Structure 1
Amino acid sequence: MYKFNLLDKISLVLVIIGSLNWGFIGLLNFNLIGTLLGEPVNLLGRIIYILVGAASVDMLMLIFKMKKPFKQ
């Protein structure tokens, strides 16, 4: 079984934050990150969006790391 390292745990938290933000945007037309950090999105907001995107790439790679080869 694959053990999560610190980067994977941080990535998971960032992906959850990003998905909650998208849920709020879709359901309530409310941008949580934009509201907390100011609209229009400033440099800090852009950095958070970039980190959430990078975290999603890490989570995709985690899926492939967790796959075990088929054993006969």
Structure 2
Amino acid sequence: MKKYAFITVIVGALNWGGIGVFGVDLIGNVFGGTYEVFSRIIYFIVGIAGVYLAIISVPNKNT
């Protein structure tokens, strides 16, 4: 699960890098537009993967 979340977050980071540097939203362009349903699902999955990685990265104080 962690591997897939990491890959998803990398894809999201590359997309944001493309937006910042070139002004191009690759996910939006590939899936029909920024506000299309499938693009928004991809953005949601990237966000959930980021939250998941942030949660599992918090050190456990019990160990």
TM range (shorter): 0.7 to 0.9
Query: In structure 2, what is the Cα distance between the partners aligned to 1:68 and 1:37?
Result: 39
Equivalent position to 1:38, from 28, 32, 48: 32
The answer to whether structure 1 residue 60 and structure 2 residue 54 are counterparts is yes
Q: What TM-score do you get using the length of structure 1 for normalisation? A: 0.77
Structure 2: 5+ residue stretches without partners: none
Query: In structure 2, what is the Cα distance between the partners aligned to 1:31 and 1:39?
Result: 9
Query: In structure 1, what is the Cα distance between the partners aligned to 2:34 and 2:11?
Result: 19
Report Cα offsets for 1:4-31 as digits up to 9, x if no partner: xxx2111101100000000000000000
Q: CA deviation at 1:68?
A: 5.5
Report Cα offsets for 1:31-66 as digits up to 9, x if no partner: 0001100124311111100000000001101211xx
Q: What TM-score do you get using the length of structure 2 for normalisation? A: 0.87
Q: CA RMSD in A?
A: 1.8
Higher relative contact order (CA 8 A, sep 6+): 1
Rg larger in 1 or in 2? 1
